[in-house]
Copies of this chain bind each other. A is one copy, B any other.
Amino acid sequence: MAFPKISSSKQTPCEACPLRKMPTFRDFTQEELDFVSSFKTGELTLNAGTTVLSEGAQSAHLFTVLSGWAFRYKMLDDGRRQILNYAMPGDLVGLQATLMAEMQHSVEALSSLTLCVFERERLGHLYRDQPDLAFDITWIAAQEERILDEHLLSIGRRTAMERAAYLLAFLTQRGRASGLFRDDPTVVPLTQQHVADTLGLSIVHTNKTLKKLAERGLLRWGERGCEILDEEGLLKAAGWEGMPESKRRFI
């Protein structure tokens, strides 16, 4: 198995970053752009199923998802796995290992994944010289916290049906805001095992729950994942209002 390498050449210069053109992300000043450009030291491309970071790892790198899907998870000793959240273009990965001693969760590529690589050491410069970017990093962390709050509410208090509907509506909203559905049909690249491990349900019950949602015409399980047919219906089935939208920050 070939070890993934970090290419030092920037396939995608920050000036031409495709994320920057999207309406959901905030604009940068030229100075910020220059800084981020010098902060970025390379790119990393991984296949689906590859581990990006492992629990306990002390990574020297901080990443931003440039394209593709990933997910964060934790495992118990006996193999029980809980998926904590999904990372999409613009999301920061590995901030924990950068700020604290080590990662307390693992990260795996859900699809083919490209990451921008930043040097951990230079984060201090960012805080010293780019207060607005520093603020953005805090903003991103607070945003993640918000999402985790909602997931916690979901797993703790929603029924299996509501949970499943919530998760898919959530991924749809977030995926669209991240430009992941360019090609028309809205397909989230999950297996039912991923769904089960996110919802805190067994795979059998997850299957039966998804089947009911499919019978209601809200989704269709198909080629390489879940196709969303009725986002409104999912939101209603979840009893969820959706995420408040605002300009997203990213680095």
Interface residues of A (CB under 8 A from B): 72, 74, 76-77, 80-82, 84, 95-96, 99-102, 104-105, 124, 127-128, 131-132, 134-135, 137-139, 141-146, 148-153, 155-158, 197-200, 239, 244, 246
Contacts and interface: CB of A to CB of B under 8 A. Distances in A.
Contact of A155 (B127, B128, B152): B152
Contact of A145 (B102, B139, B145, B157): B145
A66 to B, nearest CB: 22
- List of 6 A-B pairs having minimum Cβ-Cβ separation, nearest first: A156-B200, A141-B141, A127-B131, A148-B148, A82-B156, A80-B157
22 contacts: A76-B153, A76-B158, A76-B239, A80-B157, A84-B149, A96-B142, A99-B135, A99-B142, A100-B139, A100-B143, A100-B146, A104-B146, A105-B149, A124-B135, A134-B138, A138-B141, A141-B145, A148-B148, A151-B152, A155-B156, A156-B199, A157-B200
Contacts of A198: 156
Contact of A152 (B131, B132, B152, B239): B152
A127 B126 CA distance: 11
A99 B158 contact: no
Contacts of A244: 100-102, 104
A163 to B, nearest CB: 10
Copies in the complex: 2
Contacts of A100: 139, 142-143, 146, 244, 246
B82 A157 contact: yes
Contacts of A132: 127
Contact of A84 (B82, B99, B144, B153): B153
Given A104-B150, A124-B135, A148-B152, 16 more contacts: A81-B157, A82-B156, A82-B157, A99-B135, A100-B139, A100-B143, A100-B146, A102-B244, A124-B131, A127-B135, A131-B131, A137-B138, A144-B145, A145-B148, A148-B149, A155-B156
Contacts of A152: 74, 82, 84, 148, 151-152, 155
A176 to B, nearest CB: 20
A226 to B, nearest CB: 19
A203 B16 CA distance: 55
